[in-house]
Structure 1
Amino acid sequence: MSFVLRLVVAALGGLALAASFPDLGWWPLAYVALAALWLALARASAWGGFLYGWAFGSAFMLPHVWWAHEAVGAVPWLALAIASGAFYGLFGAAWAHVRRSAMLRGIVWAEAPVFAVLWAGMEQLRAVVPFGGFPWGRIAFSQLDAAVAHLAWLGGAGLVSFAVALAGALLGGGLESLMRRRVVTGLAAPMAGIAVLCTGIVIPLSPQGGGDEIRLALIQGNVAEPGLDAFANAREVTRNHRDGTLELVASDPGPIDLVVWPENAADYDPRTDEQSAAMVTESAQAAGAPVLLGTNDYSPEDGRYNTSLVWTPDGAVLDTYAKQRPAPFAEYIPIRDVARRFSPEVDRVTTDVLSGEGPATVVVPVTALGRSVTVGTVICFEVAYDPIVAGAVAAGAEVVIVQTNNASFGDTAESTQQLAMTRLRAIETGRTAVQISTVGVSGVVDPTGRLLQQTGLFTADQMYAEVPLRSDITPAVRLRMVWEWLPLIVALGFAGSAVSRRLSARYDW
């Protein structure tokens, strides 16, 4: 293929990958996208591999994170997409080195697994650097309606991404073999890819709990004016969540053990603000149960915490959790003087969010059970990070609740992309997972990843859910450190070995 044709194939592959994610959700296109990338990278030099990979990654990320354009404008959106695309360029360069080193002797059956390892390693690298990483867009998050997603129970998002990349590589390798008139390999490789995707069927997923349940009142209050300025409507947002709580209680859905409000439901901290305290207390008393809510803690002198707290009907705070992974350039501004030159929007963040400590859990007393329940309290973008969710379950969480505020992202796919992540975390942890948003989309997901209830976007709504509690630990959680780091370590090993072999051949060391 010519240079221009390779660029076109790579870019079309990136667009196909974007279409595999919500809201379109055409998940089989993920395999087509990776096959296109395989063909674009065939016989590419390292620099060519970087360029084609970058074209693929940028074409993918530009539509995938369009919500960033909605929230902060064109320049930050472009910067995020193109910078994220560079990681795919690194993947392309690494893969070109591996193929040109001849270490795999051009054998598809050996090349496809290495392609998949490099892909999974690249995704892990994106999840940790820079500024704590940006794992949004991991290919595993596109596959929640496919059997391969069940592999998350065994190895989390990393294993699912590996399997999807392996299937895509086998499809690409099969097409390349057919071009070279290797008919047997050309037909057998895609069939092997289908077999890989079907392995998830054998994973023993079950929606059942250990016998105990917690009964949740889930409140989506909504906001009249979405966008960044929605934060100026803090009183209205808290009032809406109070009103939603009272409305649900009046409908008599059943006994309530915990009322759940989303992130930023009470931006004025009820611990220091009388009006917020009155509304939260009124809600807790009406439900006869504590309220888990999101607020801001301005007590530190050098910043603030994005906090979840458990508020009782008598106005006491039982437990708190502060977000561990604030979003860079959204909740805090690194290199502020430099960032300001690209977008004045950074100055909307006048007080940086600080990183909290400890697992993402709170303890809630449940009178009906005669004991306390440890609840996972993941805040917004933290659902994308493997260590946050798995760490909460390892620390004893019997159910996972993702509190989020999607008001800034308008009518985009951001909230449904996040809900897909919540669904994968349910499979990975073997827990019921709940996503509760200020404006939607909110949902209840069982431990098989099945969506049981869902709200609309920019609507006021409530859900009542009797949620099974579980204490068993999945292999993905038990071996979380292995699955989080093994792909990156192995990928770096292959890339380093390939570069070393090429240098040795060039200089005859």
Structure 2
Amino acid sequence: MTTLDRDEALTPAALPRPVGTGGPLPLSVAAPLAVLAGLALLVAFPPYGVWPLAPVGVAMLAAAAHRRRLRAGAGLGFLTGVAFFAPLLAWTNLHTGYLPWVLLSLLQAGYLALLGVATAWVSPLADRSRWAWPALTGLLWVGQEALRDRTPFGGFPWGRLAFSQDTSPLLRLASLGGVPLVTFAVALVGGSLATAAWRGWAAARRTPQDDTSHAGGPQGDTPARRWAPVAVPAVVAVALTAGALLVPVATAGSGATVTVAIVQGNVPRLGLDFNAQRQAVLNNHVDATIELAARVAAGQERQPDLVVWPENSSDIDPLRNPSAGTRISQAADAIHAPILVGAVLLGPGPGQVRNAGILWRPGTGADMSQLYTKRHPVPFAEYVPLRDVARMVSKQVDLIRSDFVGGSTPGVVRAGPAVLGDVICFEVAYDDVVRDTVIGGAQLLVVQTNNATFDVAEARQQLAMVRLRAVEHGRPALMASTVGVSGFVAPDGRVSDATGFNTREVVVRQLRLDDGRTLATRLGWWPEVALAALTVAALLGAAVLRRRQRVMPG
């Protein structure tokens, strides 16, 4: 007899036990529920942004996989993963064909299959105490994400639960424990909803005769006693979400004020061939900056202290191509401010390139001491691991002729009035890459990105990550994109001056820098380590309990 089922158990063996109280949900219910779980998770993320559906999706998968055999749990988790990741990552097939999208979606769905296995595995622990189920759900999601964020080839952290909460009260928890704590909180709320729904279903199926036999008399089980196990977890779920509003976060920085301009120069046309348009893309950003300088001279715009161009704003190496370098210098001299340029640099070896942010100062040009090289190039997009093996799957890997080489130092760029924490494109999804810049002294987080090969959904998903990073580290932040969405983010996650997609725009804003450190910054990776250790402990505990149940007589 388990605690979770105690209220539903029937004393006389002759009476039928309600379906689902002693076993899993019928597969005819669990399979559609797993698909709905994936769709609920999808709609929680931008561009839809219905964040309350994230814990609902978690609850659906938790209920579907509860008490199932391990293979069934894997299958249900995989169904959720496909329903979630395939549409979430649909932007990966816009210009590269279906194969990369399908392979990436199936790979990511495989991690949710592991989550389904783990959920089924820990069912005996969840059954021992009704309060164990929410905590176990939270731990398993953190453990799954910790694995998915690192494997294979450095992982792919897109679609972490925390990144769906950019407008949720739970976003504030990022300042205490970063992404892992927010993910844990979302899944904890989902586990509470699963507990309430499971017991509500059992209570709804119970007959008056069941109540009498269970309690020994007609007065033994009142409606209040029957529905309390349903109401309490549901109230806890709401209270956890609303309670996050009590976590204090800064609304603005506490340091010096700087004026920053984001130049979104746009590209002649979207698609992979933006590289063939590289001179036009560079000219777009130069011309937009010179136009800004004219507005500043006319008193129509505030003089910026810093200008930020996006990733790939100069795919012509300005250090080796005098014409490209001259054009960037024209822009810097006109605006009288340093420009953080997103550039593709040749080398260090033959057939190698670097994705870099380089500070270009007026009058002097490139400042080689303030150069950041992207530390986490994207596998199969910026470089091809196991190229000979990958070519057997698709010859499209040969479209990547030169492999990007990763840098080795954090993106701390000292740009005169501000110390920048520069991360490039997908790096914003990696906890350590962003945190290392703050530890290194960054006062303003800068995300340089190029969304010309994707769509507005991908851009908005990325901006949601920037919002979380701003709260996590108590820093103002900005995202500069070639085509959008660009914008500024306050330390409390509010977005200002967000640009449109596939447009040419320049936005200028005053920001207050910040040198402080949040608890999340100080703790670093320890919240994730602690939660992951508890996850392992839960899996081991379930193994012990399962063994005991197998050897128990009867």
TM over 0.5: yes
Superposition deviation, residue 209 in structure 1 = 2.1
Q: How does 1:186-335 map to 2 (within 5 A)?
A: 186-252=230-296, 253-301=301-349, 303-313=352-362, 314-317=364-367, 318-335=369-386
Asked whether the equivalents of residues 265 and 284 of structure 2 are also in contact (C-alpha less than 8 Å), the reply is yes
- Deviations 1:41-92 (CA, angstroms, capped at 9, x unpaired): 1221111111111111111000100011113211110111111011111111
Asked whether the equivalents of residues 255 and 515 of structure 2 are also in contact (C-alpha less than 8 Å), the reply is no
- Does structure 1 residue 22 correspond to structure 2 residue 46? yes
- Does structure 1 residue 136 correspond to structure 2 residue 158? yes
- Deviations 1:385-436 (CA, angstroms, capped at 9, x unpaired): 0001111111100000000001011x34100000000011000010011000
Asked whether the equivalents of residues 51 and 164 of structure 2 are also in contact (C-alpha less than 8 Å), the reply is yes
Could you say what secondary structure the match of 2:125 adopts? Answer: coil
- Deviations 1:287-335 (CA, angstroms, capped at 9, x unpaired): 1111101111212115221111001112232410111111111001112
- Does structure 1 residue 416 correspond to structure 2 residue 437? no
Aligned partner of 1:78 in structure 2 is 102
**In structure 1, distance between residues paired with 2:277 and 2:126:** 59
- Does structure 1 residue 146 correspond to structure 2 residue 168? yes
Asked whether the equivalents of residues 263 and 295 of structure 1 are also in contact (C-alpha less than 8 Å), the reply is yes
Determine which of 485, 490, 498 is the counterpart of 1:441.
485
AA of the residue aligned to 2:106: I
Aligned partner of 1:54 in structure 2 is 78
Asked whether the equivalents of residues 260 and 305 of structure 2 are also in contact (C-alpha less than 8 Å), the reply is yes
Q: How does 1:112-127 map to 2 (within 5 A)?
A: 112-127=134-149
AA of the residue aligned to 2:389: V
Equivalent pairs counted in the alignment come to: 499
Aligned partner of 2:5 in structure 1 is none
Asked whether the equivalents of residues 125 and 488 of structure 1 are also in contact (C-alpha less than 8 Å), the reply is no
TM-score, structure 2 as length reference: 0.88
- Does structure 1 residue 470 correspond to structure 2 residue 506? no
Asked whether the equivalents of residues 456 and 484 of structure 2 are also in contact (C-alpha less than 8 Å), the reply is no
Asked whether the equivalents of residues 118 and 487 of structure 1 are also in contact (C-alpha less than 8 Å), the reply is no
Superposition deviation, residue 207 in structure 1 = 2.0
**In structure 2, distance between residues paired with 1:334 and 1:322:** 19
Asked whether the equivalents of residues 386 and 484 of structure 1 are also in contact (C-alpha less than 8 Å), the reply is no
**In structure 2, distance between residues paired with 1:210 and 1:449:** 16
Asked whether the equivalents of residues 252 and 492 of structure 2 are also in contact (C-alpha less than 8 Å), the reply is no
Aligned partner of 1:369 in structure 2 is none
Could you say what secondary structure the match of 2:546 adopts? Answer: helix
Could you say what secondary structure the match of 1:186 adopts? Answer: helix
**In structure 2, distance between residues paired with 1:210 and 1:145:** 23
Aligned partner of 1:430 in structure 2 is 474
Asked whether the equivalents of residues 70 and 120 of structure 2 are also in contact (C-alpha less than 8 Å), the reply is yes
Aligned partner of 2:421 in structure 1 is 376
Q: Which runs of 5+ in 2 are unaligned?
A: 1-24, 204-225
Asked whether the equivalents of residues 124 and 487 of structure 1 are also in contact (C-alpha less than 8 Å), the reply is no
Could you say what secondary structure the match of 1:131 adopts? Answer: coil
Aligned partner of 2:446 in structure 1 is 401
Could you say what secondary structure the match of 1:297 adopts? Answer: strand
CA root-mean-square deviation: 1.5
Higher mean C-alpha deviation, range 311-320 or range 240-249:
311-320
Superposition deviation, residue 276 in structure 1 = 1.0
Percentage of pairs with the same residue: 39
AA of the residue aligned to 2:470: A
Superposition deviation, residue 505 in structure 1 = 4.8
Aligned partner of 2:184 in structure 1 is 162
**In structure 1, distance between residues paired with 2:354 and 2:527:** 30
Runs of 4+ in structure 1 displaced over 3 angstroms?
103-106, 503-508
AA of the residue aligned to 2:277: N
Asked whether the equivalents of residues 38 and 173 of structure 1 are also in contact (C-alpha less than 8 Å), the reply is no
Aligned partner of 2:35 in structure 1 is 11
Indicate the structure (1 or 2) with the bigger Cα radius of gyration: 2
**In structure 2, distance between residues paired with 1:257 and 1:311:** 13
**In structure 2, distance between residues paired with 1:505 and 1:67:** 47
TM-score, structure 1 as length reference: 0.95
Superposition deviation, residue 466 in structure 1 = 1.1
Determine which of 168, 190, 199 is the counterpart of 1:177.
199
